[in-house]
Structure 1
Amino acid sequence: MAALMRPPTVSRFLRCCRGTRGFSLQPRRGIQFLNPLDPPEDLSANDSRELFKSVEDVQKNGLEKREPSAYVPTIEIGKVTISKLLLRDACTCPKCVDPSSTQKNYQTTQIPENIDVKSVSGTSEGKIQVTWDNDIAELGTDHVSEYPSRLFHQNTRILEDVCDPHKIISNSEVAWNAKMMKDKLKFVDFDAYMTNDDSLYEVLEHLHLYGLVFLKNVPSSLKDAAVEDIATRIGRIRDTFYGRTWDVRSVPDAKNVAYTSRYLGLHMDLLYMANPPGYQFLHCMENTAQGGASIFSDTKWAASHLKPASRYLLHALQIPYEYRNNGEHYFHNHPVLYRKSSVKHVNYSPPFQAPFLLHPQYADEQWHQKIAALREFSAAVEDPENVVEYRLQEGECVIFNNRRVLHGRKEFDALGGKRHYKGTYIDTDVVSSRYRVLKQLDEEKHPDRVATQLKEMK
């Protein structure tokens, strides 16, 4: 483990602060409106072309000139330059945030445009106190905000979550291929997972990093109830038209390709919905059939190895997905890549893809370039070097991120044995909430880890 960092003292922070009163009131123009590699998520092809044309104009001619009143007033504390409005809005004192409901007592727009800092000081507990001037009138003239000093010696990523570093899960996912994942496949004991919060946190941390984890020694006595117990250990189950839980086994006249014994290619579930479930659980209850190994592939790895032009094209390529069977009709379009500064979600599910509309727009050159980019992506996720293959044993349960990790299945012999899985879903928000809570508890128990992470972030 790296050497632990000694947290800077408050006095050191205040000595580092610039200006005669411990801060700088110099207005700054540090406003960045667009990153040409990061188009907004929901754009049509025409909108995208117009956006990139405007970005090119900005790159050539610079940002439009603005009046001084539009500059962003900032304060410098330690190594962080922060918008004064942002810092004021981050206050969590009882005047600003109701202690019982933990919800805000005011609107951001109520903060005066000319909000100012009267003074900055330190407390004996190692915190930074900011006394405000020209504050919200209802709060009086003695409003003081208090912040942990460690917020002011991290890099500027902390501005995304100046109130509470546990609210936003950092973008620290680890992309993987088959070789890398060989030593990273994690198996956690069922009893430990169900009874020990440290083991539950271990599972959630691994899911956050890699999107794939396994439980072992699931008691056969639990039968159909096991997968529901495993999922609700994290939080509420996502109920769908398949039910709260569902069976995966070969049946006659199957209403889903998963309910056959045929090869099932890499895909994500329920992309024909506007909000597909975030995580999937599959408990192997019986597996005596020959074949039927599960396959997994990390879309983060594949996307990170695409040409930059292909990433842009796949962001703009909307693919229709549809389920129309058994009295149900679901339909939705999704871009292949949904991203900001990095890929946030991937949408890829060939077995459930609907036909593209027969429209003249699909005859232009750019559309064919998008399909070429899709071929590049498909080749990457299906490359054997990027695919993890594992045959689940009875009493094992796989949990994976349905918005990141593709899953599929090799063909199996339904006549020579049985293959029966029980499945369910949980939404991303449910998993993220549980992870944040346990992450905060873990960091409170192990402050040395936090210090090491802060040092590594510098």
Structure 2
Amino acid sequence: MQHVEFTVDEDSASIIAHFQGQELSLPALWLRERCQDAVQLDQVTQQRLFDPHQLENDVSLVKVEKQGELKYGLTFSDGYEGSYDFTEFYADFDIYDGAPTPVSWKAGFDTSKFHVKFDEIFSDEGFMAGVEKFLTYGVLIVDDVPRESGSVLKVANRFGHVRETNFGNSFEVYTRPDYNDLSGQPVPLGPHTDNPYRDPMPGIQLLHCIQNETSGGLSTLVDSLSVLKQLKAEDPEGYQLLSDVPVRYRHVDNDVELIERRTMIESDHTGKVTGIAYSPRLDYLPLLENDQLVKFHRARKRLGALLGAPEFEWRFRLEPGQLQMFHNTRVLHGRTGFDATEGLRHLEGAYIDLDAPKGRYKAIKRQTKLAQKGA
């Protein structure tokens, strides 16, 4: 969370926020909408008991009176008077909304920071540690997961709600010639985003290793945030094209055909880059004038090269009893090829949405804070 301080001038009835070297006078309408008393705001749900859309456009702040540390009584031109705790405004200046600040990483990073044990995640303390690692690095490795079918769903349901797709609640990854995806063949799979043809894309993927008797089939993970920094520095024009021009992604199965158009570089509503939609098996070049198309393709090609570069790609053996959980668009996954005659390589996977672990993390933080206040 970025640091913010408030300057209050009672004589002029003005409040100024100071953050990131900026100053912003808090508008009266903005303050009026954020009233905090129980008559105006339900204290359990934090939902308003009035319609703020009906407030007067020209409402003004007519009086400010100090009541305590960062606590003030505010009086407005429409007659409303209320007590305000200014610490409640901190959330408005937090672009991560209470979640940890993401930390990008490359190959060679201390990956021990990604690990948590299966039993630990079922306590609030262990769960919070696991989610904090995941939200920070975009990946979590869960150790000592029972080597049995369905274990991936136990982990998935602890962190969120299972997202059912045409692959089912969960899906098996092992060699089979008639499977509707290349993951069922022993070929190498480059770093990619799963299901870019869906709206919305799965936010999180989990892959649990039940058995691995092959010498190949190494798992690979790469943090696209690190890769995108490099691409933007090398080719800002191409980077912008990948951020602005939608690409068509397509998946065909026996009973469904899924098509979605989205940009390769993904950003949230604040403009903050969150990851990429990258899958060379499923995407199609957009139709552009030739010079723009060449620039687009050049950037796409360089993006693919960086994703597979040794300086960015973490390559490791996912051992039986380990589960990798990763942010589907931030941390791209893949695997090296393997010889299926050596033995069975069996993984079970599932998807959950990104908002659930974020929401549970923030709820536990809020409950802990309330408990501390009441102690």
Identity of aligned residues (%): 26
> What is the aligned length?
362
1:445: Cα distance to partner?
7.8
Q: In 2, distance between residues paired with 1:204 and 1:213?
A: 8
Contact residue 88 and residue 145 of structure 1 kept, 8 A: no
| Cα distance change, pair 401–100 in 1 and its aligned pair in 2 (3 A) | same
Contact residue 112 and residue 134 of structure 1 kept, 8 A: no
Q: In 2, distance between residues paired with 1:400 and 1:84?
A: 43
| Cα distance change, pair 418–446 in 1 and its aligned pair in 2 (3 A) | farther
Q: 1:252 corresponds to which residue?
A: 177
Q: 1:311 corresponds to which residue?
A: 239
Is 1:230 equivalent to 2:173 in the alignment?
Answer: no
1:261: Cα distance to partner?
1.1
Contact residue 61 and residue 76 of structure 2 kept, 8 A: yes
Counterpart selection for 2:223 from 298, 303, 309: 298
1:273: Cα distance to partner?
0.7
Q: In 2, distance between residues paired with 1:167 and 1:377?
A: 26
Contact residue 267 and residue 351 of structure 1 kept, 8 A: no
Contact residue 265 and residue 409 of structure 1 kept, 8 A: yes
Contact residue 295 and residue 408 of structure 1 kept, 8 A: yes
TM superposition score normalised by structure 2: 0.88
Is 1:381 equivalent to 2:307 in the alignment?
Answer: yes
Q: 1:132 corresponds to which residue?
A: 75
SS at match of 1:436: helix
Q: In 1, distance between residues paired with 2:52 and 2:231?
A: 40
| Cα distance change, pair 85–345 in 1 and its aligned pair in 2 (3 A) | farther
Q: In 1, distance between residues paired with 2:361 and 2:335?
A: 29
Is 1:278 equivalent to 2:203 in the alignment?
Answer: yes
Q: 1:428 corresponds to which residue?
A: 354
SS at match of 1:351: coil
Q: In 2, distance between residues paired with 1:120 and 1:109?
A: 24
Higher Cα Rg: structure 1 or 2? 1
Q: 1:216 corresponds to which residue?
A: 143
1:20: Cα distance to partner?
1.6
Q: In 2, distance between residues paired with 1:315 and 1:382?
A: 20
Counterpart selection for 1:81 from 10, 25, 42: 25
Q: 1:346 corresponds to which residue?
A: 276
Q: In 2, distance between residues paired with 1:188 and 1:445?
A: 26
Aligned ranges 1:38-53 → 2 under 5 Å: none
Counterpart selection for 2:11 from 12, 17, 20: 20
| Cα distance change, pair 77–330 in 1 and its aligned pair in 2 (3 A) | closer
Is 1:173 equivalent to 2:102 in the alignment?
Answer: yes
Instruction: Give CA-to-partner distance per residue, 1:336-384, whole Å, 9 cap, x none.
Output: 112254313311111222x446xxx534311221111112222221111
Q: In 1, distance between residues paired with 2:278 and 2:312?
A: 16
1:185: Cα distance to partner?
4.2
1:150: Cα distance to partner?
7.6
1:428: Cα distance to partner?
1.2
Q: CA RMSD in A?
A: 2.7
Counterpart selection for 1:403 from 329, 352, 356: 329
| Cα distance change, pair 346–96 in 1 and its aligned pair in 2 (3 A) | farther
Residue ranges of structure 1 left out of the alignment (5+ in a row): 25-74, 136-140, 152-157, 448-458
Q: In 2, distance between residues paired with 1:373 and 1:422?
A: 34
| Cα distance change, pair 391–443 in 1 and its aligned pair in 2 (3 A) | farther
Q: In 2, distance between residues paired with 1:293 and 1:312?
A: 33
Q: 1:143 corresponds to which residue?
A: 81
Q: 1:161 corresponds to which residue?
A: 92
1:142: Cα distance to partner?
4.6
Q: In 1, distance between residues paired with 2:96 and 2:55?
A: 23
Q: In 2, distance between residues paired with 1:150 and 1:98?
A: 15
Q: 1:337 corresponds to which residue?
A: 265
SS at match of 1:233: helix
Stretch deviating more after TM superposition (362-371 or 237-246): 362-371
Letter in 1 for 2:85: Y
Is 1:205 equivalent to 2:205 in the alignment?
Answer: no
Q: 1:43 corresponds to which residue?
A: none
Q: In 2, distance between residues paired with 1:18 and 1:142?
A: 19
1:103: Cα distance to partner?
1.9
Contact residue 228 and residue 424 of structure 1 kept, 8 A: yes
Letter in 1 for 2:240: Y
Q: In 2, distance between residues paired with 1:372 and 1:201?
A: 42
Q: In 1, distance between residues paired with 2:336 and 2:370?
A: 44
Letter in 1 for 2:129: E
1:243: Cα distance to partner?
0.8
Q: 1:36 corresponds to which residue?
A: none
Q: 1:56 corresponds to which residue?
A: none
Instruction: Give CA-to-partner distance per residue, 1:265-292, whole Å, 9 cap, x none.
Output: 1101110112101011111111112211
Q: 2:65 corresponds to which residue?
A: 121
1:99: Cα distance to partner?
3.4
Contact residue 10 and residue 64 of structure 2 kept, 8 A: no
TM superposition score normalised by structure 1: 0.73
1:301: Cα distance to partner?
0.6
Q: 1:37 corresponds to which residue?
A: none
Q: 1:53 corresponds to which residue?
A: none
